[in-house]
A and B are shown apart, each in its own frame.
Chain A
């Protein structure tokens, strides 16, 4: 495995204002390095700041303090239009709620991140078909999200995340809306695809069975990251 740092977080803090000027630190002074090709999983309870951390890494949100260096680029200082380029070229997102476009077919959903790029249409379609095949959805390419099962929808979302060959794949509760069997299948696919395509993966989840697929496990609580995972996390989940 290469030792090049793909993600470097330094003293990263995200603060939200909540009513009566009270402040909530969703991410509190987090520093972290993720090397190229690594599959990192962050476990933690709801409201611990996992999604916020993922959004900061992916350039969907801006930190209140600290820096995010993604593939050598300090994205905490970029403008919105520069962040669009980062999200388009370097990041692939998978959301808990699938977040597919309801009027797009499975194939079109996978193609969506490529639409604003200069890639020719036939190449875009070829790439999307290839990814759907990888996800075992070749026969479902023309189906709308509403015609797919939850597991199939999440597989489409994963295919979409891989479409632009991102440097980093960010999985936000990828199995949250799935049963254990489908969840494991999804993680297996993510793990296999990331290894085949050479992506660095950061996943945040409740699902402790993810440890089978991950290279590194961290725990998050109250906006802080810990390397020790409390035993009760596994006991509760399993």
Chain B
């Protein structure tokens, strides 16, 4: 008799007990996958938009700086109030700040037109790595632009074409900017060119600063110091983005793993208890097997095989259910936070880990139960009714 065939028959014979064991494993594994993927989705939503442009903080002004004043053209067409570019040096004087990069982002109807400093290649509204055709901007460029590939396709623009936005700009590059990029624009040009061509010529003015801190651990502190020293400024960090998605599971991966491991331990104990009940019900049968020459090893092997098979069935079902739940959660988070989760799918490695945990639970539970089976004395076990 093959141990697997024997195990399958026992599983069939004890349908209810098996179903309860498998249900426990399914709940543990599907919860693990759902929680961990929710945590990863959460992290993606809160870090990718900033990380994709190499920044930790976006800084802007919430009150007008004199003499620009409210009501002027630039305030109406910029995303936030402008401030002097020279203030970037002041921001960099904050201990936790490593680099402050200038941005002048301008909007006219549905068009977003952004001025960048091309010499900043680590932190910027668009990075050289996004170029798919042509070249990135150079510091001495004036009337040339790089454009988003979707905008290029929509407007039928290619390299060498001209885009008009307060002036004519020759297209020298096309970029593929991810939907997760919070600074996604239609046209990117040299910062000085924007300052020169916009009405009122905001020379020396910018309206955002991308702040790179010296360590991921100092982001919160840097943001607090900046807002404290310049009270009219506001900062956006990953944590702030997290707060925009209220009502969702806000959990980090470490916590998700802790909860999942606790669940796995509970499942092991639960399954082991159930398997002990199984062994108790089969005391006589185990006694007979020992009486006819089965060793403790043979009996342990059989009990563990049965438990392992329950773990395998529970693991596979748990992975399927976990995949469905996790996909739904990611879809829901993505719906609330925009396209940031387009690129997050259920990690196949996590499914593998879930399956391994389920199989491990089966083996441990089987081993715990089989200790009792191994201790049974055949002569006493056979007398059991």
Contacts and interface: CB of A to CB of B under 8 A. Distances in A.
Interface of A: 55, 58, 60-61, 80-81, 84, 87-89, 93, 95, 99-104, 108, 111-113, 115-117, 160, 164
Given A88-B292, A160-B292, 11 more contacts: A60-B291, A60-B379, A84-B290, A84-B295, A93-B292, A95-B382, A101-B288, A102-B285, A103-B9, A112-B1, A115-B294
B6 interface: yes
B291 A93 contact: yes
Contacts of B1: 104, 108, 111-112, 115
Contacts of B24: none
Looking at B1, B13, B298, the one whose CB has the most chain A CB atoms below 10 A away is: B1
Interface residues of B, number: 20
Given A61-B379, A95-B382, A103-B9, A164 B293 contact: yes
Contacts of B379: 55, 60-61
Contacts of A160: 292
A101 B291 contact: no
Looking at B288, B291, B292, B298, the one whose CB has the most chain A CB atoms below 10 A away is: B292
Contacts of B51: none
Interface in B360-385: 378-379, 382
Contacts of A89: 293
B112 interface: no
B298 A116 contact: yes
Main secondary structure on B side of the interface with A: helix
Interface in B77-97: none
Nearest to B302: A115
Contacts of A99: 284, 288, 291, 382
Contacts of B378: 60
B10 interface: yes
A116 B6 contact: no
A103 B13 contact: yes
B289 A101 contact: yes
B296 interface: yes
Interface of B: 1, 6, 9-10, 13, 284-285, 288-296, 298, 378-379, 382
Contacts of A116: 293-295, 298
A101 B382 CA distance: 12
B296 A80 contact: yes
B7 to A, nearest CB: 10
7 contacts: A84-B294, A88-B295, A93-B291, A101-B285, A103-B13, A117-B293, A160-B292
Nearest to A170: B291
Nearest to B9: A103
Nearest to B295: A84
Contacts of A103: 6, 9-10, 13
Closest CB pairs A-B (n = 5) = A88-B293, A103-B9, A113-B292, A60-B379, A84-B295
A117 B293 CA distance: 9
A219 to B, nearest CB: 23
Contacts of A117: 293
Contacts of A87: 290-293
Nearest to B284: A99
Contacts of A111: 1
A60 B379 CA distance: 6
Looking at B290, B298, B382, the one whose CB has the most chain A CB atoms below 10 A away is: B382
Looking at B9, B288, B294, the one whose CB has the most chain A CB atoms below 10 A away is: B288
Contacts of B298: 115-116
Contacts of B295: 81, 84, 88, 116
Contacts of A61: 379
Nearest to A97: B382
B8 to A, nearest CB: 9
Given A60-B378, A101-B285, A108-B1, A113 B293 contact: yes
A60 B290 CA distance: 9
Nearest to A84: B295
Nearest to B287: A99
A131 B13 CA distance: 28
B14 to A, nearest CB: 10
A61 B382 CA distance: 12
A73 B379 CA distance: 21
Nearest to B380: A61
A87 to B, nearest CB: 5
